[in-house]
Structure 1
Amino acid sequence: MGETRRTQPPILGVSLADLRRDRTSVKWGVHGSDVIPMWIAEMDCAPCPAVVDAVSAAVSRGDTGYALTEEYAVQVAAFADAEWGWDFDPRTTTRVADVLTGVTHLLGLFTDAGGPVVVSPPVYNAFYEVIEACGRRVVEAPLGADHRLDLERLAEVFAGLTAEGARTAYLLSNPHNPTGTVHTPAELEALARVADEHGVRVLSDEIHGPLVLPTSTFTPYLTVPGTERGVTVTSASKAWNLAGLKAAIIVPGDAAVDDVRRLHPFVTFGASHLGVIAQTAAYRDGRGWLHRLVDELDANRHLLADLVAEQLPGARLVVPESTYLAWLDLTDVGLGDDPAGEVLRRARVALSPGPIFGCGGRGHARVNYATSPEILRDAVGRIASILE
């Protein structure tokens, strides 16, 4: 097995020339051809063969109608059990178009118009957008200086909001985007305890769960004690690079099953048939590919850490425990509050601007390192050139 893995071509080995020629997605279409895009959460990877085979076969036979999603739910549950020992009943789940669509529907269930939704910044920028889009308001309870959940601050915020009688939800990024923090079982259990004490619903976005890197272990929120009222939303979108093949799943805790069943059945029609086929194949037959990818991401995160230390004096990288996204502190390198803007203008490397991730984002940028080592070296070299 080891010899076979060594002789396989790298998943993250696609050349810059091939990417520029073949990719037509947002990542490659927004900026000029001289820019290295390392911003939006798309990987520069070769596809999972099981997904290619499943989607190609479906299109070839004209199987492009409306989606049935029961087998998708079964395979998500089987994957979760095999990878993390998370045993849930697929019959209790609801399938939706994507994770943020699921979050939107759940916020409609668990909060009121204009009501509070708590987040812990710096956090996934789309959380802010989806909360605003569904007519709720953001309340921030920032991460601690160690980039971990600040349970005391969360308890204080929860208590203040619910004392006013507001139905409150907490939107958890598990694992955390953009810092790559992997929440521990003890942290999640403490969060569940604080949330339950104040009647706050925890909605856990676990789309990056399969991308926890060696030395850390992913803990699904609903596997720790006291999370029965919580709800998880997840998808194969990030781990297998399938954002364009939409499907996602809502998994309720035992005490939230009846609540989630209140969602109108129409919402389940959002998952596309080809998305369901692709993601079912990924969960069922793509585990080996995923494990190889995680090994390559592990090597890339260490390479990125070395490159930053060697070439970007004054920069500080939060070496991620998960995801393919890294949080880069450029506060002391003289590029201003939004260094990504200067990096794009002067180095022609596109990073995600830190300020869009909320409190604590000024002077920072998010780096997508899911690319070839060669492109990673080129990008950091370009950034280094403007700091000389």
Structure 2
Amino acid sequence: MTSIPHDTPGEPDPLRALGLEQLRRRTSMKWRTYPEDVLPLWVAEMDVPLAGPVVRAVTDALTLGDTGYPAGTAYAEALAAFAAVRWKWDGLDVRRTAIVPDVMLGVVEMIKLVTGPGDPVIVNPPVYPPFFQFVTHMDRRVVEAPLGADLRIDLAALEEVFRQATTGSGRAAFLLCSPHNPTGTVHTAAELASVAARAERYGVRVVADEIHAPLVAPGVPFVPYLSVPGAGRGLSLMSASKGWNLAGLKAAVAVAGPEAAADLDRLPEEVGHGPSHIGVIAHTAALREGTGWLDALLAGLQANRTLLTGLLAEHLPAIRPQPAEATFLAWLDCRALGLGDDPAQVFLDRGRVALSSGLPFGTGGAGHVRLNLATSPEILTEGVRRMAAALMTHL
């Protein structure tokens, strides 16, 4: 497997590179949804400059006028090389991949391949809200198998849902979020193997959203779903989008397990026309040459997790965060504050800080908020200060 060129060690923390004035010049969703007096710590955009290799690759393509339609397997090859080095997984076969517009549209296409209208799609709430929206809009039926009290997959409950979902029609899919959004839980190899065994037992097809895979905390191993025993009929969606802040440069890779290759072969040709060619170039450069930048980001995120824990202990001790093992998100249980089912609305109205409401995340979301850690320590500190001020105003 080809090795990945690494950036120069000791790159600066990208989370400390941009000030609030620079960030407010951005025109993306994070910075344009709310008025300027609101501090946005909600949607999954990072407050970082792009990695140098990504900027160079995109600039070179624009200079050359290389802005046509995507082609080739460079993105999948870069992902396979990254997986081999980063996750010690050499099972990503480029021949069993396809380029798709982005992870969620890829999820939709994978579910279409293995289920039909009206079939159940199982999710583990609290979970990324588009799981509910996209599944419902494609005429499938969402079935919940909530996480356990420890915010990990409740395997016994999942098995019972698998059993019920496949009684009668027999066809069902399990939409696995790995690492889990919003909790930041990283599923272990044993947990994933147990999921695979249960899926095989009941004939449930697993579709894994692994978009946050590059964003695991230092010392925490990420285990690709397709790498565990029994996952050969699984399908996975991966991307450099979250790891390198490339949401506006659309591209993702669908990966099939060995026994799902025939399913992926049925993917309509027009799906491959949806990704951005510039997006493919950017994601490929990130995976091949942006690992030094990623490591600096991961160190900054870990520092911000520690900072947040201290800030909450000082200013909002009733919120006890469960340390996330991955993502740049923090899932905060605010129920002890007495702010009702939607504390994010109180923090917005009274503190002028925007957080993601827990309600759209499904069962287990009421009384919670999701906070985006991918910002500077100064902005994070101000965000918690505003949350505390909102609480004082509410009392």
Band of TM-score, shorter chain = over 0.9
The equivalent of 2:102 in structure 1 is: 98
Q: Give how far 1:387 is off.
A: 2.0
Is 1:153–2:137 an aligned residue pair?
no
The equivalent of 1:282 in structure 2 is: 286
Give the 4+ runs in structure 1 shifted more than 3 A.
none
The equivalent of 2:20 in structure 1 is: 16
Which of these residues, 238, 244, 249, is aligned with residue 245 of structure 1? 249
SS in 2 for 1:317: coil
Q: Give how far 1:324 is off.
A: 0.2
Superposed CA deviations along residues 6-64 of structure 1, whole A, max 9, x for unmatched, are 5x54300111111012x110110100011111111000012100000000111112111
The equivalent of 1:122 in structure 2 is: 126
The equivalent of 1:381 in structure 2 is: 385
Residues 12 and 296 in structure 2, CA contact (< 8 A), matched pair in contact too: no
The equivalent of 1:178 in structure 2 is: 182
Is 1:213–2:222 an aligned residue pair?
no
The equivalent of 1:202 in structure 2 is: 206
Report the number of matched residues.
383
Superposed CA deviations along residues 90-140 of structure 1, whole A, max 9, x for unmatched, are 121011000011111111111110110000000111111110121111100
Superposed CA deviations along residues 286-310 of structure 1, whole A, max 9, x for unmatched, are 1111111111111111111111111
The equivalent of 1:78 in structure 2 is: 81
TM-score w.r.t. structure 2 length?
Answer: 0.95
Which of these residues, 308, 311, 318, is aligned with residue 315 of structure 2? 311
In the alignment, the residues of structure 1 paired with residue 223 and residue 113 of structure 2 have an alpha-carbon distance, to the nearest angstrom, of: 25
The equivalent of 1:42 in structure 2 is: 45
Residues 355 and 371 in structure 2, CA contact (< 8 A), matched pair in contact too: yes
Residues 69 and 95 in structure 1, CA contact (< 8 A), matched pair in contact too: no
Is 1:143–2:132 an aligned residue pair?
no
The equivalent of 1:167 in structure 2 is: 171
Residues 69 and 276 in structure 1, CA contact (< 8 A), matched pair in contact too: no
What is the percent sequence identity of the aligned residues?
Answer: 54
The equivalent of 1:347 in structure 2 is: 351
In the alignment, the residues of structure 2 paired with residue 136 and residue 334 of structure 1 have an alpha-carbon distance, to the nearest angstrom, of: 36
**Alignment RMSD, CA only?**
1.1
TM-score w.r.t. structure 1 length?
Answer: 0.97
Unaligned 5+ runs, structure 2: 1-7
Superposed CA deviations along residues 177-213 of structure 1, whole A, max 9, x for unmatched, are 0000010000000000011100000111000000000
Q: Give how far 1:5 is off.
A: 5.3
Residues 78 and 288 in structure 2, CA contact (< 8 A), matched pair in contact too: yes
SS in 1 for 2:84: helix
Unaligned 5+ runs, structure 1: none
Structure-2 change in CA distance of 1:5 and 1:77 (3 Å):
closer
Q: Which moved more, 1:237-246 or 1:79-88?
A: 79-88
The equivalent of 2:32 in structure 1 is: 29
The equivalent of 2:5 in structure 1 is: none
Letter of the 2:351 partner, please give it.
A
Letter of the 2:291 partner, please give it.
R
Residues 170 and 203 in structure 2, CA contact (< 8 A), matched pair in contact too: no
